[in-house]
C-alpha cells in the first residue's frame, strides 16, 4: 500500500507495482502539481514516524491517454518514484491480474484498503484500514448509477447491513481479490458505503498492456524526457 500526500496530508492511495512505479487513480492529480507530492511506502500510522517507512518524491505522473475527468472513465495513472523502493517485510510488490481478464465474478469476496476517512464526517483513521466487500453484478450497479458506468469499471457492496466500503481519500487504492489488484478505487456516492450508490472501481485488467508498456518504455536506455532514469 502507498500513501500519496500533499502539504503533509494524506490525499490518495495506490500500490507498488515495481520498485520505481506506483499505480494510482488519475483523478487524484487533477489540479495538483505532482512535484509537490510525496509517496510513502511501508506505513501503518501515517502521523507518527515508523522505521518501516520509505518516502519518495514523484518524478513523473503518466495518466492514461483516454482518461475522462467528467465521467471518470479510464481513471488510472502511473507514478514514477525518484528512487527505488527497498523491498522487505513492510514493502512488497502487488501483482496485476492477467491481461484482459474478466472482472471478478459477482459475489466474490475482496479486500479494499486505505487511509481514507472512516465516517461521513471526515473522521481520520487510526492507521491503515481494510474492509471485506463483495463484487456486485455490473448490470445492477449500472442501474443504481443510471447507466453512468463505462465497460472498464465494476462495483462492490458490503454484503450485509454494515456500510463497509471506501470513503474520501481512499481513491487510487487497490481492491485485492485473491493476491492481485483487480480494482482501483475510483468514485462513490455522497455518503460512504451507501448501498444506493455502490462503490465503483477501475478494472485493472483492461489496462495491463498499457501499464507494462509505460513501465518498460520509460525504464529503458532509450527513454526520453522527464521519465528517464
Domains and CATH numbers, the chain: 2-92+208-227 (2.40.10.10), 109-205 (2.40.10.10)
pLDDT at 27: 97
What is the per-residue pLDDT across 159-183, written as a single tens digit (0 to 9) for each? 777 788 999 999 999 999 999 999 9
Residue 40 phi, psi (nearest 5):
-115, 125
Which residues belong to the active site?
Answer: 27, 75, 171
pLDDT at 220: 54
Q: Which residues contact 47 (CB under 8 A, 6 or more apart)?
A: none
Q: Is the pTM higher than 0.85? A: yes
Q: What cell does 186 get?
A: 475510483
pLDDT at 161: 73
Look over the chain and give the mean of its residue pLDDT values, rounded to a whole number.
92
If one compares 221 and 118, the residue with the highest pLDDT of the two is 118
The sign of the dihedral angle between the CA atoms of 1, 131, 141, 170 is: negative
CA distances from 186 to 25, 112, 155, 161, 168 (A): 7, 12, 10, 23, 10
Confidence class for position 157, pLDDT limits 50, 70, 90: very high
If one compares 69 and 222, the residue with the highest pLDDT of the two is 69
Unique residue bearing C-alpha cell 527505488: 84
Distance CA 89, CA 87 (A): 7
Residue 113 has pLDDT above 70, yes or no: yes
Q: Considering the chain, what percentage of its residues have pLDDT values greater than 90?
A: 83
Q: What cell does 112 get?
A: 479494499
pLDDT at 208: 97
pLDDT at 7: 93
What is the per-residue pLDDT across 38-53, written as a single tens digit (0 to 9) for each? 999 999 999 888 999 9
E-only strand ranges, the chain: 2-6, 9-18, 21-24, 37-41, 54-63, 77-81, 109-114, 129-136, 153-157, 174-177, 180-187, 199-203
What is the per-residue pLDDT across 191-228, written as a single tens digit (0 to 9) for each? 888 889 999 999 999 999 999 999 999 875 544 334 43
Amino acid at each position: 500500500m502507498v500513501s500519496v500526500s500533499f502539504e503533509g496530508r494524506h490525499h490518495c492511495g495506490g500500490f507498488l507495482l515495481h520498485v520505481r512505479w506506483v499505480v494510482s487513480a488519475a483523478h487524484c492529480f487533477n489540479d495538483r502539481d505532482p512535484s509537490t507530492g510525496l509517496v510513502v511506502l511501508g506505513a501503518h500510522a501515517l502521523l507518527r514516524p515508523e522505521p518501516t517507512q520509505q518516502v519518495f518524491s514523484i518524478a513523473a505522473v503518466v495518466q492514461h491517454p483516454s482518461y475522462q475527468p467528467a465521467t471518470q472513465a479510464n481513471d488510472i495513472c502511473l507514478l514514477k518514484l525518484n528512487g527505488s523502493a527497498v523491498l522487505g517485510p513492510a514493502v512488497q510488490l502487488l501483482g496485476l491480474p492477467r491481461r484482459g481478464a474478466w472482472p471478478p465474478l459477482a459475489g466474490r469476496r475482496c479486500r479494499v484498503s486505505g487511509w481514507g476517512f472512516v465516517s461521513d464526517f471526515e473522521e481520520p483513521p487510526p492507521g491503515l484500514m481494510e474492509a471485506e466487500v463483495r463484487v456486485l453484478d455490473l448490470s445492477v450497479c449500472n442501474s443504481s448509477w443510471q447507466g453512468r458506468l463505462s465497460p472498464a469499471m465494476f462495483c462492490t457492496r458490503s454484503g450485509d447491513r454494515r456500510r463497509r466500503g471506501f470513503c474520501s481519500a481512499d481513491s487510487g487504492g487497490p481492491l485485492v481479490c485473491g493476491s492481485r489488484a483487480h480494482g482501483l478505487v475510483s468514485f462513490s456516492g455522497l455518503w460512504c458505503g451507501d448501498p444506493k450508490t455502490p462503490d465503483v472501481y477501475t478494472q485493472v485488467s483492461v489496462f495491463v498492456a498499457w501499464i507494462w508498456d509505460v513501465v518498460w518504455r520509460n525504464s529503458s536506455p532509450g527513454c526520453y524526457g522527464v521519465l528517464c532514469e
